[in-house]
Amino acid sequence: MPSQRWDGQLYVFGAMESPLHLRSQVTTAKSVWRFAFNLTATYKRDADILWPYGSLRYEPSPISNRPNYKVIAVSKRKTAVWLVSNCKTQSKREHYVKEMKKYVDIDIYGRCGRPTNCSRAEYGPCMVQLLSQYKFYIAFENSICDDYMSEKLFKLFVPNNHIIPVVRGGADVDTLLPNNTFVNADWFKTAKDLALFLKSLSTDMDAYSRYLQAKDVYTSETREKILCTLCETLTSSVLRPRVYDLKTWLDGQCRAPRAFT
């Protein structure tokens, strides 16, 4: 931290990780960061500057350009895929998926599964080709925290990526995501119930193709606009900066996962 703050200078706290990965750095009693900031820019909906990992825009293609979703559904020979590099998480997603695998086929790639030559960072043609074999993508968060919904979900909403996300986390996805574009693990009492639902839906081509059709009219927007939003906020006449206690602001945002067996 700079040794001197100039008069009128504002410090903005910007973070994309969940509070579980931030508290030890910024909220301890001895941390010089705890009371240093005047504005917040994070994915949290109560931040001064909302900085989500992404957002969805309604952008339907002309009807004449839309594919035959039933044909796409029938062409998929595999049920679910999970790309993962963090094998031990607060959300216990690895245990949840292990339980699901007793009832439905899930292929796992990355550090916690089989290697792949595709770049997870770019989601280019290689990744789209890999995912095209599958009906569902496991998009489970590593932390169960309020509003936390990471980039893995938004990257699925790109043109010609015909796969349905299966989500589990702390964000209110039923409010934030369009209907029939995803499956929410929280709809089900157990991992087994979710697995059996996916297995059933994967064999119902009419129902599954309706999910594809609903998802295909949305496309993701990146978070690159944050700098524009930051400039607008800092030059706004209604700007009301204050001194944050980051410990108070971040505490209580995360919770243990509920039982799923």
**Tens-binned pLDDT, residue by residue, of the chain (261 aa):** 777 788 888 899 998 889 887 766 676 656 788 888 999 999 999 999 888 888 999 999 888 889 999 999 999 999 999 999 999 999 999 999 999 999 999 999 999 999 988 876 667 788 889 999 999 999 999 999 999 999 889 999 988 899 999 999 999 999 999 999 999 999 999 999 999 999 999 999 999 999 999 999 999 986 667 788 888 888 887 777 788 998 888 888 999 999 999
Angle at 130 between CA 177 and CA 17, to 5 degrees: 45
- Each domain of the chain, given as residue ranges in start order, spans 12-51+223-250, 56-221
Angle at 151 between CA 150 and CA 155, to 5 degrees: 145
Q: State the number of CA atoms in the 13 A half-sphere of 34 facing the CB.
A: 12
For residue 196, give both structure tokens.
């059996």
Residue 216 CA from chain centroid, whole number: 18
Buried b (16+ CB within 10 A) or exposed e, 141-155: bbbbbbbbbbbbbbb
Residue 81 CA from chain centroid, whole number: 16
Contact 37, 246 (CB under 8 A): yes
Residue 223 CA from chain centroid, whole number: 13
pLDDT number for residue 25? 66
Q: How many CB atoms lie within 10 A of CB 29?
A: 6
For residues 212 and 164, give the distance between their C-alpha atoms in angstroms, rounded to a whole number.
7
Q: State the number of CA atoms in the 13 A half-sphere of 110 facing the CB.
A: 15
Rounding to the nearest 10 degrees, give the CA dihedral for residues 104, 123, 51, 5.
130
Contact 166, 182 (CB under 8 A): yes
For residue 132, give both structure tokens.
């095209």
Output the CATH code of domain 56-221: 3.40.50.11660
Query: If 0-12 CB within 10 Å is exposed, 13-18 middle and 19+ buried, where does residue 84 land?
Result: buried
Contact 91, 143 (CB under 8 A): yes
For residues 254 and 61, give the distance between their C-alpha atoms in angstroms, rounded to a whole number.
39
For residues 72 and 163, give the distance between their C-alpha atoms in angstroms, rounded to a whole number.
10
What is the Cα gyration radius of the chain? 21
Residue 112 CA from chain centroid, whole number: 19
